[in-house]
Chain A
């Protein structure tokens, strides 16, 4: 059973456009929601994260929007660049737990 559902599976965006990736969850005990970026042959790298007491968090061109009532959160990449082309994973952690549940990933391609 997939604890965190992610969409779309793949995304193609023009340079300068906005990339939007969505995730949904059911477990209300989740208290930490990170996004990871993974390039081919590399391990996942933490991009940005949010806790459920905040509805939005912005770091540079990356923004997480969080809707607690809908149990959804999304990653917005503004002014997308070819260097952003990678696979993005959302994840969630149970309160106090020591592991993350990952989504299935979104392969983003930014066309020059």
Chain B
């Protein structure tokens, strides 16, 4: 499969726990994006990487959230001290030329209980 891969697909965690999601972009895609999608809403931008550099962060990305892309390939999104409001689908997308040509992964659905 040469698409954007996200792992895990589903995660249930207790409030207060830390969780980490992984995104493997399409090979050679140097741009990577994280979005969050809550039920009944469209995706909302969280952050953007070009290679290993995190170039843009949304105000939605509180200090409990951190994203990395250490070698410019895969990326991780960590949420510390999860809250029930963090329950959402976390989507990763990648592109080689910018957001207009980005491909989305299938997402990681997080449920905080």
Which A residues have a C-beta under 8 Å from some C-beta of B?
A: 4, 6, 32, 34, 41-46, 49, 89, 91, 93, 97-105
Contact = CB atoms under 8 A, between A and B. Distances in A.
B42 A104 contact: yes
Interface residues of B, number: 24
Interface string B62-106: 000000000000000000000000000001010000111011111
B2 interface: no
Contact of B99 (A6, A44, A93, A105): A93
Interface in B28-58: 31, 33, 40-45, 48, 55-56, 58
B32 to A, nearest CB: 10
A44 B93 CA distance: 10
A45 B104 contact: yes
State the majority secondary structure of interface residues on B.
mixed
B4 A43 contact: yes
B29 to A, nearest CB: 13
B107 interface: yes
A100 B99 CA distance: 7
Contacts of A42: 106-107
Contacts of B4: 43
